[in-house]
A and B are shown apart, each in its own frame.
Chain A
Amino acid sequence: MSNQTAKLPPSARLTKWLVCGPPLVFLLLLFVAPSAIMVVASLRFPGEFGGLAPVAAAPGVLQGLTLETYRFFFGDFLYAEIFVKSFLVALAATLICLVMAYPLALLIARSPKKSRDLMILLVILPFASNFLIRVYAWMILLGPQGALSQLVNSALGAFGIGPVHLLFSPFAVLVAMVYVHLPFMVLPLYTNLEKHDPSLLDAAQDLGANRWQRFWHVTFPLSLPGIYAGATLVFIPVLGMFAIPDILGGTGDMLIGNLIKDQFLGTRDWPFGATLSILLTGAVLLCVLVAARLGGAGMRHA
């Protein structure tokens, strides 16, 4: 690698820096630097009225760096539980998105070219209205006066089961999570499926594969890179999401996103908030790494 760089003529090297420079600066300034600040913040003491305590205060209590917040996190089962719960919610939302998006993406990819653009437009149309407004809309849809609640409760009432609250429940959170992130699953899947060579399906059929075998042995394995991409695009935002649980989850339903937000805005314990953020970032990076590995393995020969 370094050998290759050394052999490049100076003009090519300059071009390379010009092309790579802006994104590099962007990442350094907006990802690496803030992450470093967060790492340092997580090791400091909380300030008296929020914020951080000065690193070099008067001699005595609360100064220098400490691993106290990490000890606190790993010392209490509660936080691990919220982490696990958040991961499970993210996993569930990702799987539901996948199951819902796959047939849709397949349908769009196999439609005549003319109608595909319109269908894709319809998939991304919800982005035209504000994210928070769409989430608030679910309050109305799922609210006790909403048609859906009425229908569900009258049906349950027939079996003598008491009325349930759809709103302010893990159910409402999951519904909105899936709703908001569905396009992020549809688009990469469609992009992948649309590129499949239709002659492969003809060949599979010619070689004796029935409809199900054609899907399972040809379409599905070839779509794995799309699945990994979509899963990453859904899983990560859902994991950090705090607005949806805040609005639709009610008081009891806390995910990591809410916990972190509370540390900064509620409890005003910045070092602990920073610790949670760093741990979350680490966990997400791990997930991306795994997804990239899996996706890379699938993409190598496709």
Chain B
Amino acid sequence: MALLEIRNVTRRFGGFVAVDNISLGIEAGEIFTLLGPSGCGKTTILRMIAGFDLPDEGQILLDGEDLADTPPEKRPVRTVFQNYALFPHMTVAQNIAFPLRMSRCPDAEIRQRTRDTLQQVRLGDRAGRYPNELSGGQQQRVALGRALINRPRLLLLDEPLAALDAKLREEMQIELINLQREVGITFVFVTHAQNEALALSHRIAVLNSGRVMQVDDPPRLYGFPGNRFVAGFIGHINILDAQVLETAHGHTRLGIAGLGEIIVPPVAGAAPGGKGAFAIRPELVRIGVHGDVTELKNHFPCEVRNLLYCGDVTTYRVQLANGALIEALLPNSAPGRAELFKVGDAVNVGWRHDAGVFLHE
């Protein structure tokens, strides 16, 4: 049984349906991410799990028990707020000890556990400081320590990295992963940043307009997006309108308007004449002038239109004879080798037959 089960939950604000009949199961010990653009309902779900909002329909169960009648202060669920919401009039140690004081722990135990938690979030030398004397990363660690000290069943993190600069964000991601492994508490993470979600999560639920688009682990979500929205929302991708021409044993033939035919692995539920889109990641597209590309089942002649040099990789945008543009990402794996091709070069573009996916309409 899942630790937290969201069953057919709907939440409306006036005429606006923020959460539309969503069901999700979150397992004990995992980092589960609710990912979606703003307004997709992810924060509403988080607030309903924390207890600040209640579903209009459906149930939220923790360990099989309905939480509907449990107020936020009684739920074994803690939240790390987006702005951290640290108490400005309390020191770091007082902030961290707050949940224990509220539950009327004995003083000696509060002191001991506060000290342990301060060590755990590496703030032992900041115990007497006030929040406004700390850096963003340190404030974040106070919020984490404060939320974890009472060992909740579930920790909710609302865009916890949004307030940090890029460099710190990466460090904090690693810290969060380590901390979660150490404490073993289930983390539910809300974000609109797909790269954060991919880096942190064990599983991700992609949301859009109050509905779940797909739930999967990061590699599957990235590699096999189930629909156009997920494909477009996560990472870069080339999407071309396509139609199923033939479903044979071992492969499916797709027709792409103006481009021609391509071969993809068998597509579940595809029937000749079915419409959809063919999606392929730029890093799976190869470009070349020699046989290495033309040996591939899917390859087409084209011309280099643009290139973007990014240091580690270069993005090439090539144009096919019929005008379609395809992006290809090539690693700059040898020092100083920036431009394998130049704008205007006639090249071949191709990909392995199992590199792309067909998305049903």
By the criterion CB–CB under 8 Å, are A207 and B89 in contact? no
Interface presence of B226 (CB below 8 A): no
Q: Using A206-B72, A210-B73 as known contacts, say yes or no to A199 and B102 having CB atoms under 8 A apart.
A: no
Candidates A199, A203, A206, A221; contact of B89 at CB < 8 Å: A221
Which residues on the B side are within 8 Å of A222 (C-beta)?
88-89
CB < 8 Å neighbour of A207 from B52, B130, B132, B147: B147
Min Cβ gap A163→B in Å is 51
Decide yes or no whether B23 CB sits under 8 A from chain A: no
Let me know if A301 and B132 touch, CB within 8 A: yes
Within 8 A of A (CB), among B139-164: 146-147, 150
Q: Which of B52, B88, B150 contacts A302 (CB 8 A)?
A: B88
Residue numbers in B under 8 Å from A204 (CB-CB) = 87, 98, 102
Main secondary structure of the interface of A (DSSP, over half): helix
Interface with A: B78-86, B215-223, B264-272, B306-314, which one? B78-86
Given A213-B102, A218-B87: A203 in contact with B131 (beta carbons within 8 A) = no
The interface size bin for chain A is: 20 to 34
Question: In this assembly, does A197 line the interface, its C-beta being within 8 Å of a C-beta of chain B?
Answer: yes
Number of interface residues of B (CB under 8 A): 27
User: What is the distance, in angstroms, from B52's C-beta to the closest C-beta of chain A?
Assistant: 6
| B146 CB contacts on chain A under 8 angstroms | 207
In Å, the complex CA distance between A200 and B86 comes to: 7
Q: CB distance B73 to A199 under 8 Å?
A: no
User: Once the chains bind, are B89 and A209 in contact (CB under 8 Å)?
Assistant: no
Check B73–A302 contact: CB distance below 8 A.
Answer: no
Known: A205-B73, A207-B147, A208-B99. A197 touches B131 (CB 8 A): no
> Complex: how many Å from CA A207 to CA B81?
12
* Cα–Cα distance between A203 and B73 once the two chains are bound (Å): 9
- Given A203-B81, A217-B98, A208-B88 contact (CB < 8 Å): no
Query: Measured between C-beta atoms, what is the minimum distance from A212 to chain B in Å?
Result: 11
B79's closest neighbor in chain A, by CB? A206
A63 to B147, CA, bound (A): 76
> Contact: B52 with A202, CB < 8 Å?
yes
B103 within 8 A of A: yes
Contact with B along A188-231 (1 / 0, CB 8 A): 00000000010110111111111001000110011000000000
* B248 CB, nearest partner CB in chain A, Å: 56
Query: CA–CA, A205 to B71, complex, Å?
Result: 9
B50 on the interface (CB 8 Å rule)?
A: yes
Which chain A residues border B78 with CB–CB below 8 Å? 206-207
Q: Which of A86-130 contact B (CB under 8 A)?
A: none
B49 CB → nearest A CB, Å: 11
Interface assignment of A298: CB less than 8 Å from any CB of chain B: yes
With A207-B98, A209-B102, A210-B73 already in contact, the answer to whether A199 and B83 are too (CB < 8 A) is yes
Given A222-B89, A301-B131, are A208 and B103 neighbors across the interface (CB < 8 Å)?
yes
Query: Residue on B with the closest CB to A202?
Result: B52
Question: What 14 additional pairs, Cβ within 8 angstroms, besides A202-B79, A206-B79, A208-B74?
Answer: A202-B72, A203-B85, A205-B73, A206-B52, A206-B72, A206-B73, A206-B147, A207-B98, A207-B150, A208-B73, A209-B73, A210-B102, A217-B102, A218-B87
Q: Which 5 A-B pairs have the closest CB atoms?
A: A203-B85, A301-B130, A208-B102, A199-B85, A207-B99
23 contacting pairs across A/B (C-beta < 8 A): A197-B85, A200-B87, A202-B52, A202-B72, A203-B85, A204-B98, A205-B52, A205-B72, A206-B52, A206-B78, A207-B78, A207-B99, A207-B146, A207-B150, A209-B73, A209-B98, A210-B73, A217-B101, A217-B102, A221-B89, A222-B88, A222-B89, A301-B131
